[in-house]
Amino acid sequence: MPTLYGTHRSRATRNLWLAAEIGLELELRQVWQAYRLDRPEGPDAALNTRSREFLALSPMGAIPVLVDGDLVLTESLAINLYLARRHGGDLGPRDEGENALMTQWTLFAATSLEGPGHAIQNAYTYGRSDSDGGREEIADMVEKLGRPLRALEAHLSREAHLVGGRFTVADINVAEVLRYAQAHEPALDDAPSVRAWLAACQARPAFRAMWERRSAEPMWP
């Protein structure tokens, strides 16, 4: 059984959603982010992103990490592409063309959507959204999302899904990255097809089950 090191309140949500979609059993080994512990390097600290044991798997100290036999794989989006190809059936690629397109959309999410979206979420999470500086930061990040959202809107105005006319790992990867921008509700105002597609993705039972577990997870160990 593959082992996933991480926590529901992290980018591991992407992997846990995919696993729920395909009925893949993952052993989840809880690894806390170091900032969530008072003394992450203390002798009695829970396993966390500064623990020596974990750094042996992830030298950058980042979660999640997948261990599948001899394979140790970091980067949540790469983990999803791997799991989809190995276990995902129709959530994975049917041929090399689809594999290329799923990789394309995943890299699009990582390079064009995640930075601005994560900055928007952080502005809300850390209480900056009501300050002048925070509003300016959010407006700047929404502007940065404009060009990639226009590209995504153009595609989704013609197609219900990103690849192959069906729900796939590409939809999961892009939807989970774009979720960050939802902290600012108007961010998708100019992309109605994107908004409808994202709502449909998040209405899936596997997403809702994952999100319920995430919401139930404590913030602190």
Looking at per-residue pLDDT, the higher value among 218 and 112 belongs to: 112
Please provide the distance, in angstroms rounded to a whole number, between the alpha carbons at the two ends of the chain. 25
Question: Could you tell me the pTM of the whole model?
Answer: 0.96
Residues 5-18 have pLDDT tens digits of 999 999 999 999 99
Confidence of residue 221 (pLDDT cuts 50, 70, 90): confident
pLDDT band at 52 (very low <50, low <70, confident <90, very high): very high
Environment class of 156 (CB within 10 Å of its CB; exposed 0-12, middle 13-18, buried 19+): buried
Each residue of 9-42: pLDDT tens digit? 999 999 999 999 999 999 999 999 999 999 999 9
168 pLDDT above the threshold of 90: yes
Structural domains of the chain, ranges and CATH numbers in brackets: 3-90 (3.40.30.10), 92-207 (1.20.1050.10)
Residue holding tokens 């949540």? Answer: 76
Side-by-side strand order, sheet with 71-74? 27-30, 3-6, 65-68, 71-74
3-state secondary structure at position 117: helix
> Pick from 110, 92, 186, 204: which is nearest to 148 by CA?
110
